[in-house]
Every structure is written in structure tokens, then in C-alpha cells.
Structure 1
Amino acid sequence: MFLHLVVIAWLYVAVMMAVAEATNTNGSLLGAIVTFVLYGLLPMGIVAYILATPARRRARRAREAAQETPTEPSASVPPDQRREAPADAPVAPVRKED
């Protein structure tokens, strides 16, 4: 929440600086755009990226933890009810002779 407030407040200041640049007698529209980008968008993009690092790190760790823990949905079902052949079958399968 704090990050959003800081970004909005600083972008407001940058817009006001750009408006002052555009409306000044020696200013120009190009100068206003450059002022807004260099004083507003670029610094806030860097700040937002740095302050969002812990959230990205938590998401990455959660994603890695989800990939590491194998989830077998049929682990609680006994092997004979899964309709699978047991791994160590005591009887060899019978083949039809020609």
C-alpha cells in the first residue's frame, strides 16, 4: 500500500513539473515529455522494481516448493483399487501360444 502511495505522489509531482515546463515561455512540449520520463517514469519504475523484490522472491520460492513436492493424488488408494499391475507381480503374465 505504501509503495502505491509513493508512486502516485511522485508521478503527480512529475506531471506538475512537466506542465510547468510545457507552459513556460522558454519551455517546449518535448522538454515536458523528457522531464516527465526522466523525473517521473524512470525513477518510479526503478523504485517499484526494487521495492517489489521481496514479493517476487516469495512467489519464486513458493513456485519452486510446489514443483519439488510431488503430489500423487492416488497415494491414499490401495494399489489393487487403482487398476494397475503391482510392481512385484508374483505370477508372470500368461501369453497366448500360436
Structure 2
Amino acid sequence: MYLVAIAWFYVALMMALAEAVSSQGSVLGALITFTLYGLLPIGIVLYVMGAPRRREARRRQEREELLQAQQRAAASAQGDGGDHAAAEPLAPVGKEP
């Protein structure tokens, strides 16, 4: 995937360079050519092609958060093993909770 993007980037760069050094071209035309034929299409294609990877990363993050929440719930339900109810943790001295 990246090889095609690099090749397209190279072609767009050569088109812009040809526009800049041409007797009928200009540097502004070269910048517009490079942006519209190079950066914009490459950015769109790489964004669209990266969507499955971003989706999987989001799902993995949600699974990890759910697992951590379940572990916290299990740890708080287990208690400290005594006959009394579990207390809230105490705030440090001089600090408000």
C-alpha cells in the first residue's frame, strides 16, 4: 500500500517540478499541481485504507476498558476478607477527598 503512495508522490513531484521549470509554467502552478495531484489524493487514499486498522484499534481499546472495569468490579466485590464492610479509602492527611 505504501509503495503505491510513494510512487504516486514521486510522479506528482515530477509533474510539479516540470511545471515549475517550464517556460510557460510558474511556481504557483507547481504548488497547485503538487497539492491537487499529489498530497490531496494520497491523503484521501491513505485515510480510507487505514480505516480497518483504526476500527480494530478502537475495538481493542474498548475490550481492554471493559476487561479493566470487570476486574475492578470483581476486586471491589471480593472485599478484604474481614467480617466488616469495606470502607472507602482514606484521604491523605491535610488533603480533602
Name the TM-score, length of structure 2 as normaliser.
0.73
Q: CA offset at residue 86 of structure 1?
A: 3.4
Matched residue, 2:42: 44
SS in 2 for 1:86: coil
Matched residue, 1:91: none
Task: Count matched residues.
Answer: 82
Tell me, yes or no, if structure 1 residue 86 matches structure 2 residue 89: no
Write the deviation string for residues 39-62 of structure 1: whole angstroms up to 9, x where unpaired. 000000000000000000000101
Of Structure 1 and Structure 2, the greater helix share is in: 2
**Matches of residues 17-28 of structure 1 in structure 2 within 5 Å?**
17-28=15-26
Q: Which amino acid aligns with 1:11?
A: F
Q: Whose relative contact order is higher, 1 or 2, with alpha carbons under 8 Å and at least 6 apart? A: 1
Write the deviation string for residues 27-84 of structure 1: whole angstroms up to 9, x where unpaired. 0000000000000000000000000000000001011111222223x84xx7445x79
Q: Which amino acid aligns with 1:86?
A: A
Q: If you compute each CA radius of gyration, which structure gives the higher value, 1 or 2?
A: 1
Compared CA separation, residues 7 and 86, structure 1 to 2 (3 A): same
Paired-residue identity, %: 51
- Long gaps (5+) in structure 1: 88-98
Q: Compute the RMSD of aligned alpha carbons.
A: 2.4
